[in-house]
């Protein structure tokens, strides 16, 4: 989905999201950029493979990064500005690492570059916790449990009723992509090597966007990236958690637009 006028900006959504996740932000960003919102492979409205085994074999960060790179090349407008959130932030970072010629400026919105936690005090515990959670989700997905029930529980386990309190559009996106939870955790971010040395080779300007209310893991990843990436800066958005595209979509868009205009 492409809209707006100006320099090209590609946006990659996070886990169990799709191109609709950044609809509100895109309305602001399209005033100064030609915004292309990407739905990565296996996410709505893209088709699901014939078998779930094929989905598990296909759903990999390297595959998604190659897809995005090919899409940027096909646009004929490289280098482009590239924004990725969470899992999409990891995909964007890999694109920037592998194909820096395609990226003019990079915006990482709480990217799950989990590998960076391994060398940090307390980081291994955070990685281990994420892996245990992933194993639990994978077991449920492989058992044949309704994917919608799994995704709903992610939000409701700590505070019942959270999922139903979301706006209808957000619930629709989550349910439309619930089936991806199994493949995502099976090939999760903690298994994707991405070191500080990798980050240090990214010479394009990088903006790291973080929610003020996010958890310790994303905060630590963002701090490491800030220290490793030569031309980076950090923006912390008030009253926002990890899902910044829903918590503060217009504020984020204005910050990103300012950064891209510099």
Query: 139: how many CB neighbours lie within 10 A of its CB?
Result: 12
Question: What pLDDT is recorded for position 257?
Answer: 97
- Over residues 195-223, the mean pLDDT reads 94
Is 91 a residue whose pLDDT tops 80? yes
CB 152, CB 252: distance < 8 Å? no
Query: What are the residue boundaries of the structural domains of the chain, listed by start?
Result: 2-117+192-261
Domain 2-117+192-261 matching CATH 3.40.50.1820: the answer reads yes
pTM: 0.95
Q: Encode pLDDT of 98-152 as tens digits.
A: 999 999 999 999 999 999 998 888 888 888 888 888 899 999 999 989 999 999 9
Question: What pLDDT is recorded for position 71?
Answer: 97
Cα–Cα nearest to 183, from 15, 65, 50: 15
Mapping DSSP to helix (H, G, I), strand (E, B) and coil, where does residue 82 land? strand
Q: Encode pLDDT of 16-56 as tens digits.
A: 999 999 999 999 999 999 999 999 999 999 999 999 999 99
Question: What pLDDT is recorded for position 198?
Answer: 94
């Amino acid at each position: 989905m492409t809209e707006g006028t100006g320099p090209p900006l590609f946006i990659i959504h996070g886990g169990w999201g799709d191109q609709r996740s950044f609809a509100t932000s895109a309305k602001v960003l399209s005033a100064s950029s030609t915004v292309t919102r990407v739905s990565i492979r296996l996410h709505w409205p893209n088709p699901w493979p014939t078998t779930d085994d094929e989905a598990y074999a296909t759903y990999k960060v390297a595959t998604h990064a190659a897809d995005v790179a090919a899409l940027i090349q096909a646009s004929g407008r490289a280098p482009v500005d590239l924004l990725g959130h969470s899992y999409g932030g990891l995909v964007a970072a890999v694109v920037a690492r592998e194909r820096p010629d395609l990226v003019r400026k990079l915006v990482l919105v709480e990217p799950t570059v989990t590998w960076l936690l391994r060398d940090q005090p307390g980081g291994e515990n955070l990685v281990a916790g994420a892996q245990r959670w992933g194993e639990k989700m994978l077991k449920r997905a492989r058992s044949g449990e309704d994917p919608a029930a799994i995704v709903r529980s992610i939000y409701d386990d700590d505070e019942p009723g959270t999922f139903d309190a979301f706006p209808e559009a957000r619930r629709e996106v989550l349910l439309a992509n619930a089936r991806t939870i199994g493949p995502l955790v099976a090939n999760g971010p903690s298994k994707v090597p991405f070191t500080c040395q990798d980050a240090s080779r990214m010479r394009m300007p990088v903006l790291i966007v973080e929610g003020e209310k996010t958890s310790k893991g994303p905060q630590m990843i963002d701090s490491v990236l800030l220290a490793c990436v030569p031309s980076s800066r950090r923006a912390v958005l008030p009253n926002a958690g990890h899902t910044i595209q829903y918590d503060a979509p217009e504020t984020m868009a204005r910050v990103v637009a300012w950064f891209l205009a510099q």
